[in-house]
Amino acid sequence: MPTICPKCQHVRPVDTTAPDWQCPACGVAYVKAAEAANAARRPVARPVIYQAVPERRVAWGKWIAVLVLAYGAWAGYRMSTERHDNIDHSDMPTLAAGVQAEEVVMYTTTSCTYCAQAKGWLRQNGFAFTECNVEKDTSCEAGLRATGSYGVPTLLVRGQLMANGFDSEEFVALLQQ
């Protein structure tokens, strides 16, 4: 069977002097030309394009903010439920017995939670006081404005204005003067 050159399609004659591996017409090595021809006939492999999957990242900043807020809420709750006063409660009934309702005037509103806490503390410890609701009585509103304060609860203890709302230690100190 005759050998045909894969490059130039020359049929190799039987009486040629060229080496067996080389085409006498173009001089190419049969094996190399055959590999090149086969490579040209093979289908081209197209690259597979992958869609990038977004990286799932943990939003650490958000988690830390949530934890800080949760801790703050818990600490605030704990502080509001614990006793923080340095008052000797053993002589509280004696001190409360010596207070008349007109000596302690508390300006309040209906929806004020701090007012409710202050009233609860005063009642729990047996103190008499006069409540003046600025939402229900215009004379109470005028009395509150006369003190120079605009927030509630505002307390006048024996004519002296408490500095910032209700503070049990300040309240007892004003009564003991």
Walking along the chain (177 residues) 10 residues at a time, the average pLDDT comes out as: 85 88 89 82 74 76 90 84 62 89 94 94 94 94 90 93 88 88
Residues 6+ apart with CB under 8 A from 170: 162, 163
Q: What is the DSSP string of 5-38?
A: -TTT-PBPPTT--S-TTB-TTT--BHHHHHHHHH
The whole-number pLDDT of residue 155 equals 94
The whole-number pLDDT of residue 30 equals 86
The whole-number pLDDT of residue 36 equals 82
Domains in the chain, please, with CATH?
1-44 (no CATH), 90-175 (3.40.30.10)
The whole-number pLDDT of residue 129 equals 96
The whole-number pLDDT of residue 88 equals 65
